[in-house]
Amino acid sequence: MATLTIAGKTVQVNDEGFLTNPAEWTKEIGAEIAKQEGIAELSEAQWKVIDWARGAAQGGKSPTLRQITTGVNITTKDLFTLFPKGPAKKVAHIAGLGKPEGCV
């Protein structure tokens, strides 16, 4: 298991850079991962999605795209606007959760 220092905190990650222990996550870590994903600053709408995903995760398992759009009451198009190029994967990564099942 690899470790990374993100926002001044050392966390354990898998081979793809996803946190392996969601309890190690902080909002500062999420903001730093977002920057690495090309999102300079997270908006209130983006934080709403991230917070929902963390609350909906079961055993570190990330919610799917459909679960996110339904749970947050957001269209798929709007979710792609907030998190371009693979929103479920980006949300999971930023939220400190495991890679969603079915994502490549």
Which residues belong to the active site? 103
Give percent above pLDDT 90 in the chain.
87
Element (H, E) at 3: strand 2-6
Query: Is 50:33 a contact under the CB 8 Å cutoff?
Result: no
pLDDT at 103: 55
Q: Compute the average pLDDT of residues 39-53.
A: 97
Domain coverage including residue 53: 2-94
Residue 83 lies in a domain: yes
Per residue in 54-88, pLDDT (tens digit) is: 999 977 689 999 999 999 999 999 999 999 999 99
Neighbours of 89 (CB within 10 A): 20
pTM of the model as a whole: 0.93
Helix (H, G, I), strand (E, B) or coil at 20: coil
Residue 102 lies in a domain: no
Residue 104 lies in a domain: no
61, β-bridge pairs: 58
Overall domain count for the chain: 1
- With cut-offs at 50, 70 and 90, classify the pLDDT of residue 99: confident
